[in-house]
Amino acid sequence: MRRHEAEVEAGALRVTLRYRDDLGDDAGLCVEVYADVDGAPTELLRFDCFRRGPHYHYGPMGRDERIMFDATADGDPLDWTLERFQRGRLRPMIERAGYPAAAAAVDEAALAAALPRLIDEARAIVAAHEPRGA
């Protein structure tokens, strides 16, 4: 049985990893960043690391600003996404998404501690679904 999903806690953030293969001619890993906003779980950011139409969303449950990846400039969408986590870019991205309190609550130390598991889980889910070189 192939793994489809994992969740990684990083302080006040929860990162859900889900493989989407229900998109017709596209598929790939979704990296969803959640936090509690006004007492309710809220998706702050979503990175859709799809093979054909990769993109990401600022505030997918609210304003839903969608940005397409540029493969020439950005390279592999999953690598680019994981680099946002590694380089401390989540806080400003969450703020841009319209959640300044959630951005201020980002615990960089907890995020750094969760990164190895997040990266391992993401790679394992993709490897279970995509043949090498796909």
Cα 16 to Cα 26, 43, 67: the distances in Å are 20, 10, 20
How high is the pLDDT of residue 132? 63
Assess contact for 29 and 76: CB atoms under 8 A.
Answer: no
Q: What is the pLDDT of residues 82-93, one digit of tens each?
A: 999 999 999 999
How high is the pLDDT of residue 3? 54
Count CB-CB contacts under 10 A for residue 125: 20
Please give the average per-residue pLDDT across 42-46, as a whole number. 98
Q: In the predicted model, is pLDDT for residue 17 greater than 90?
A: yes
Where b means 16+ CB within 10 Å and e means fewer, 32-71 reads bbbbebeeeebbbbbbbbbeeebebbbbbbeeeeeeebee
When divided into structural domains, the chain yields a total of: 1
Half-sphere exposure of 9 (CA within 13 A, CB side): 3
Q: What is the pLDDT of residues 102-118, one digit of tens each?
A: 999 999 999 999 999 99
Q: Specify if 120 maps to a domain.
A: yes
Q: In the predicted model, is pLDDT for residue 1 greater than 80?
A: no
CA distance 13 to 130: 27
Q: In the predicted model, is pLDDT for residue 133 greater than 80?
A: no
Q: Specify if 134 maps to a domain.
A: no
pTM given for the model: 0.92
Higher pLDDT pick, 21 / 79: 79
Domain that holds residue 73: 5-129
